[in-house]
Structure 1
Amino acid sequence: MDERLARPWLTHYPDEIPVKIEYEEKPLQSYLADAARETPDKSALHFMGTEMTFAEVYDSALRFASGLRGLGVKKGDRVAIMLANTPQSVISYYGTLLTGAVVVQTNPLYVERELEHQMIDSGAKVMICLDLVYPRVANVLKKTKLEHVIVTGIKDYLPFPKNLIYPFIQKKNTGIKVDITYNEKTHPFTRVLKENEPVETEVSVNPKEDLALLQYTGGTTGVAKGVMLTHHNLVANTTQALRWMHKIDHGNEVILCALPFFHVYGMTVGMNFSIMDRSKMVIMPRFNTTQILKAIQKQRVSIFPGAPTMYIGLINDPDVNKYDLSSVEVCISGSAPLPVEVQQRFEKLTGGKLSEGFGLTEASPVTHFNLMWGKRPSGSIGLPWPDTDAAVINGETGEQAEAGEIGELIVRGPQVMKGYWNRPEETKAVFQDGWLLTGDMGYMDEEGYFYIVDRKKDMIIAGGFNIYPREVEEVLYEHEAIKEAVVIGVPDPYRGETVKAFVVLKEGMELSEKELNEYCRKNLSAYKSPKQFEFRNELPKTMVGKVLRRALVDEEKRKREQEKEPQVQGK
């Protein structure tokens, strides 16, 4: 395919975007070190009233790295970070890399069973977590290889008097009183920094071979897999992002970081983008429309990476017109399809540009993006990034599809993963002659713009989060009253998709929707829990007994179409 591969998308590149990029052969953490040395007094981050310079962030990262070494962490060890967006998440991330260890990003919403699997699979040695989630971490400690836990709280980086008031607000909002006993295995984050010196220790890193990150994702089997991303993968994808945004004022932007850093999208286009560009990140620990609008106005945010649900929430906020959003210049939308109406309304509201892209965890994550200042066809995921090849292959012949012909999207480039952690067979299954099989069905038009039409996988994307039906179904099957269960994604005006569960009960058993909802919320993260339930006597199946998930998807589609049809009134 290489010899015959056409790249019509290159004709759309403006002169400012290079076709090929010379990537620096150095580890990701070196960009923070360079910024601290060359622009030490420049503001690196803002967090709820607290400002930190690049020198201060680097100093803290060095102290944290010294602390990790004191706990026995060495090159190649895995260090889990289970934090919301806070200064601590930036410090922990870069501090871990400074030791030569591998970051394992962990979702703070994980329940114990999810957390246990990830810790066992990664073999993480140290965990950094929020005080609010510590009880969950403590409950799985003995089942994993975790030797130390470092605990922090939102209040640790709040300015006076917010740091005194916040614990009371936290208890009121969550009902949780944080009470942690510190010992030789459980350490307060602030003490780790205070008791260690900011020592620069040279660690030999091979950017193209050494891992920087294990980012967990699911698959058609529902088993979470660790995607192995090297320093080169992450440096390349962040560099591609910077070159794509060719009109921005490099080094002087203000970037809203509301996308979670524990998600590879927020990590690359938010945190790493800001550090590499030496621009200020405005860190938001959670998405609240009022707080976001205030932050944009007060901090004069110019770049806003987000998910469609965020933009939908903002344009529908009843007070949105009370805020000055004119500072917004560039909005990078990903994680789910961006409705055209949302794009148009948000651009009118801010005067900035909102464009949609595409990626997957296995590609660090971005492979395609629409031009920010150029042609943006409706519904397109855009053009492949510099040094990124993309093609569509016919599922039956394996040959490259013609323009407009639907097939599976395949990609290759410097941002594509090394493979899956300890899963050579699954790694082999997703690579074909150097190309990564995305599992997404789409097509390329004659001009080189790509479109996604369906997913080969059964994955559900709700509010930017990937949800794998098998994982939810396994939890449902563990309920004593359930005989059969199947999960599908159904359209949701806010989240893009939401989870619907079809359930068949065992004979003689009873189970209410309320009871089932409570059970799911206890055993699954909130975003994975089904929002709709339907009890049935039987499920559609093939002759060999396999549940026809597609039949239920089509059935739901027909229902929606019927609901839209005008009703004829009888005389």
Structure 2
Amino acid sequence: MASNRETCGLTKRNYTFSEARSFSRRFGVSLLDRGLNPGDVLVVMLPNAIDNPIILLGALEAGLLVTTIDPAYKKNELSLQVRTIGAKVIVAIPTVVPLVKAVLEELGVTMPIILVDLKGEETGHDFWSYRDLISRSDGTDTQRKWPEVSPEDIAILLSSSGTTGERKMVARTHRNTVATMVLSGVYGKNRIISGSIVFGLTEVWPLFMALQNDQNPLNLGYPEPNTELKVIDTCGKSLRPGEVGELCIRGPQVKKGYFNNEKATQDTFDGDWLKTGDTVYYDEDGMFHLAGRSKDLIKVGGRSVSPSELEFVLLNHPKIADAGVVGVPDDTQGEKPVAFVVPKPGVELDPREIQAFVISELAPYKALSRVIVTDALPRNSIGKVLKRVLNELFVLKRPMIKLGKNVMGQYIH
């Protein structure tokens, strides 16, 4: 690694690689010296900034597990993720500290908060100063015997938006991380730009197929090196070219499992094959094609939004009896969430009130673009909401949105 190359960030600071290496080791040593242990979970709640890799590498070398939380998260979102992973320390910027403190108090847990002020002004006796942690000069960062870390140890936890309303944390090992770097070859680039037509999984981080110069979004491409793909039917039988089934993946980049969730791990694996939930087929040339998506995640500007999470929030509103959320096409964001809601008897719903309620509970990018008030939701024989029908209703009624009320008596906004 070159010792004199600079890495620049939005903070206007820059470090040589040599400095970044030294700071990351000092950070890791400081975590261990202050009572943290290998296997503990460190939460990073920062925007994209130059110090993120220093924090990540230092924690990993110390044997800790690292996860990130969007600083835009609201109280319920933060509480759920902290509770799910059993965090031991949180790295945060000053603007989110009041929220972090409120969540920790509500959960009845205490843990250190490492304050990272991007302006370099870290004060307060209630916090550990990030600057202090990386500024030690006692030489222990080079002399210390570091914990032994196995390639199969968990390194990083990534949040996966579950379609059942359950937030799952994808456990990725050190081996997974290195394998992905070798596979993709993008980590040395200065810039990475991608449009909205992207196919991948958090569980595979996310690359496992590649396709160049093809304008058909249903063409997924060919497997990457060291990656095995197969298509199976509902009984688990491997299918032949042209037959539609569920895509399964096997390779060194596939997750270890879901953190602290053995049932979800078992449900998504068939032996060492990861079942993606995506419906595909492959042709005689070995190219894979998308036939459908059994998971109904909404992709908003490249971010995954779970309909189930939105529905959970909506059903906690005192005026709503039932709710269903679908994704609809959007010219700028790719997709936007739309909610169909059923009011409780004798109650009138103001769609704008519902939109404001959702914004107060969830991150801004999960905002509802429209709220449609209806008497009932379409369901199948076992009571499952028919999302396909909701999408069709939205398309059919969309030209009438400006009228305020459609022929079925549903208010559309």
TM-score, normalised by the number of residues in structure 2: 0.89
Distance 1:107 1:558 in 2: 36
TM alignment of 1:219-230, pairs within 5 A: 219-230=162-173
How far 1:181 sits from its partner (Å)?
6.5
In structure 1, distance between residues paired with 2:390 and 2:32 = 53
1:76 to 20, 26, 39: 39
Structure 2 residue 192 is matched with structure 1 residue 361: no
Give the direction of change, closer, same or farther, for the CA distance of 1:536–1:189 in structure 2 (3 Å limit): same
Correspondence for 1:182 among 124, 128, 132? 124
Task: Check 1:123–1:449 CA distance in 2 against 1; reply closer, same or farther (3 A cut).
Answer: same
| Equivalence map 1:256-405=2 (5 Å) | 269=186, 273-274=187-188, 281=190, 304-308=191-195, 336-337=196-197, 358-371=199-212, 376=214, 378-379=216-217, 380-395=219-234, 397-405=235-243
Summarize the Cα distance change of 1:367–1:70 in structure 2 as closer, same or farther, 3 Å threshold.
same
Task: Give, in whole Å, the separation in 2 of the partners of 1:557 and 1:441.
Answer: 24
**RMSD between superposed Cα atoms in Å:** 2.3
User: Structure 1 runs of 4+ off > 6 angstroms?
Assistant: 560-563
Give the SS at the match of 1:381. Answer: strand
Offset, 1:144: 5.7
C-alpha distance in 2, partners of 1:486/1:196?
A: 57
2:368 counterpart letter in structure 1 = P
SS of the aligned residue for 1:155 comes to coil
Distance 2:233 2:224 in 1: 23
Change (3 A) 1:529 1:196: farther
1:84-483 matches, cutoff 5 A: 84-142=47-105, 143=107, 145-156=109-120, 182-183=124-125, 185-195=126-136, 197=138, 199-200=141-142, 201-242=144-185, 269=186, 273-274=187-188, 281=190, 304-308=191-195, 336-337=196-197, 358-371=199-212, 376=214, 378-379=216-217, 380-395=219-234, 397-483=235-321
User: Structure with the greater relative contact order (CA < 8 A, sep ≥ 6): 1 or 2?
Assistant: 1
The 3 A distance-change label for structure 1 pair 205 and 66 is closer
Query: For residue 213 of structure 1, what is the amino acid of its counterpart?
Result: I
What is the alpha-carbon distance in structure 2 between the residues aligned to residue 495 and residue 154 of structure 1? 29
Measure the CA separation in 2 of the matches of 1:51 and 1:383.
39
- List per-residue Cα deviations over 1:259-300 (Å, max 9, x = no partner): xxxxxxxxxx5xxx23xxxx6x5xxxxxxxxxxxxxxxxxxx
Q: Does the 8 A contact of 1:62 with 1:95 survive in 2?
A: yes
Cα gap change, 1:68/1:41 in structure 2, threshold over 3 Å: closer, same or farther? same
| Contact 1:119/1:145 (8 A) holds in 2 | no
AA aligned to 2:64 is A
> Which amino acid in 2 is paired with 1:390?
L
Alpha carbons of structure 1 residues 506 and 401: separation in structure 2 relative to 1, 3 Å: same
* SS of 1:484 mapped into structure 2: strand
User: Per-residue deviation at 1:403?
Assistant: 2.2
Which one of the candidate residues 338, 342, 367 is aligned to 1:504? 342
Q: What is the SS of the residue equivalent to 2:260?
A: coil
Q: Work out the CA distance in 2 between the residues paired with 1:558 and 1:403.
A: 36
Between the two proteins, what is the percent identity of the paired residues? 33
Per the TM alignment, residue 64 of structure 1 is displaced from its structure 2 partner at its CA by: 1.3
SS in structure 1 opposite 2:208? strand
Letter aligned with residue 525 of structure 1: A
Q: Deviations over 1:163-183 (max 9, x none)?
A: 9xxxxxxxxxxxxxxxx8622
**Counterpart amino acid of residue 114 in structure 2:** I
Displacement of 1:435 in angstroms is 0.7
Q: 1:118 Cα shift?
A: 1.1
Q: SS where residue 359 of structure 1 aligns?
A: coil
Query: Contact 2:14 / 2:50 at 8 angstroms: preserved in 1?
Result: no
Q: Deviations over 1:503-535 (max 9, x none)?
A: 111122233122111111000111122111111
Cα gap change, 1:94 to 1:546, in 2 (>3 Å): same
1:560 Cα deviation (Å)?
6.8
1:188 aligned partner, one-letter code: S
More helix by share: 1
With over 3 angstroms needed to count, the CA separation of the structure-2 counterparts of 1:544 and 1:403, relative to structure 1, is closer
Unaligned runs of 5+ residues in structure 2 are 402-413
Contact 1:125 1:145 in 2 (8 A): no
Superposed displacement of residue 50, structure 1 = 2.9
Distance 1:501 1:562, change over 3 A: closer
Superposed displacement of residue 48, structure 1: 5.1
Equivalent-residue separation in structure 2 for 1:389 and 1:556 (angstroms): 39
| 1:403-448 deviation digits (Å, cap 9, x = unpaired) | 2332211111000111111111110110013110011112222222
Q: How far has the Cα of 1:499 moved from its partner?
A: 0.4
